[in-house]
Structure 1
Amino acid sequence: MTVTVGDRVPEATLTVMTPEGPSGQSTTTLLGAGTTVLFAVPGAFTPTCSARHLPGFVERAEEIRAAGADRVVCMAVNDVFVMDAWGKSVGVGEAIVMAADGNGEFTRALGLEMDASGFGMGERAQRFAMIVQDGVIKHLMVEGPGEFRVSTADSVLERLGSGE
């Protein structure tokens, strides 16, 4: 079952790269305090994700924070080393937390997985964005297959700016 607006973010562990190496972070810690923008992509280094999705959030990160977000998190069902390399290649710096859902456990808990086996990618996250406030989903924007409209940085900014 897919999460909906008003649901608490499910408990799981995502992995982020730190100066000391990979570190497991509970979703309660990473997404639970303040306002977090979480966006998910089907795969690091894939065409739309690398050319438009992640770069859009990098370009608009300061505006997103100015509109009320305490942090921006990018997530994919990839390993932490791939997420770290992808973030470095795009130049995310400190603007975006690159979080790996290596086994897809958090993605499945959200009910937002998809089968990308036809592309040789196995189970992945659907393309989506959510605004989480103190651990509760306030906005959930899930893309239809092959679409890139509602989970963009611009769309997230509209939601943050609406004050809803």
Structure 2
Amino acid sequence: MIQQGQALPAGTLGQLTKDGMVNHDVATLFAGKKVVLFAVPGAFTPTCSEAHLPGFVVLADQLKAKGVDIIACVSVNDAFVMKAWGEAQNASEIMMLADGDASFNKALGLDMDTAAFGGIRSQRYAMVIDNGVVTTLNVEAPKSFEVSTAEAVLASL
């Protein structure tokens, strides 16, 4: 698993924008920026939709006031689902990124197999990235939602 102080692995994350599909090179996207990246097991799932994403929507301005350039949510879903979920949650300040084949989360060592529920998904986590290097990493214990909340990330900045 990736650790604090390590650079992010190479990877590509998809985003459906008003101009169409964009495949972001992670290193390029986060270069020279302070980023809050949080991951959820699945778009439209209960904890993710009722608490995790909404917390970052509510606290987006406060996070940006602390110097955060990008707030991004990543999930092992396709870019169409991530866009629809972002719109349903009024998450206009959040970059909704798709890790469709879980390759980025696998490279981080933060994937999990949920078996028949959904297959390979992301663990629930939040990290602060400064110019491509992880400075804070909060990974949730299974079935927990405490350390990756928007409030916990804000408190760490």
State whether TM-score is above 0.5. yes
Which residue does 2:113 correspond to in 1? 115
Cα distance in 2 for residues equivalent to 1:58 and 1:100: 18
Which residue does 1:44 correspond to in 2? 43
**Deviation by residue 1:52-111 (Cα, 9 ceiling, x = unmatched):** 000000000000000121110000000000000000000011x11000000000000000
1:29 is displaced (CA, Å) by 1.8
Cα distance in 1 for residues equivalent to 2:72 and 2:156: 16
Structure 2, unpaired ranges of 5+: none
1:17 is displaced (CA, Å) by 1.3
Give 4+ residue runs of structure 1 displaced > 3 Å after superposition: none
1:118 is displaced (CA, Å) by 4.0
- Taking structure 1 as the reference length, what is the TM-score of the superposition? 0.94
Which residue does 1:157 correspond to in 2? 154
Structure 1, unpaired ranges of 5+: none
Q: Bigger CA drift: 127-136 or 110-119? A: 110-119
| Count of aligned pairs | 157
**Deviation by residue 1:27-71 (Cα, 9 ceiling, x = unmatched):** 012222220000000000000000000000000000000012111
Which residue does 1:25 correspond to in 2? 24
Which residue does 2:85 correspond to in 1? 86
Which residues in structure 2 correspond to 1:4-153 (within 5 Å)?
4-93=3-92, 95-119=93-117, 121-153=118-150
Percent identity of paired positions between Structure 1 and Structure 2: 48
Q: How much is the aligned-residue C-alpha RMSD, in angstroms? A: 0.7
- Taking structure 2 as the reference length, what is the TM-score of the superposition? 0.98
1:131 is displaced (CA, Å) by 0.2
Cα distance in 1 for residues equivalent to 2:83 and 2:98: 9
2:149 counterpart letter in structure 1: T
Cα distance in 2 for residues equivalent to 1:132 and 1:13: 16
Q: Bigger CA drift: 151-160 or 13-22? A: 13-22
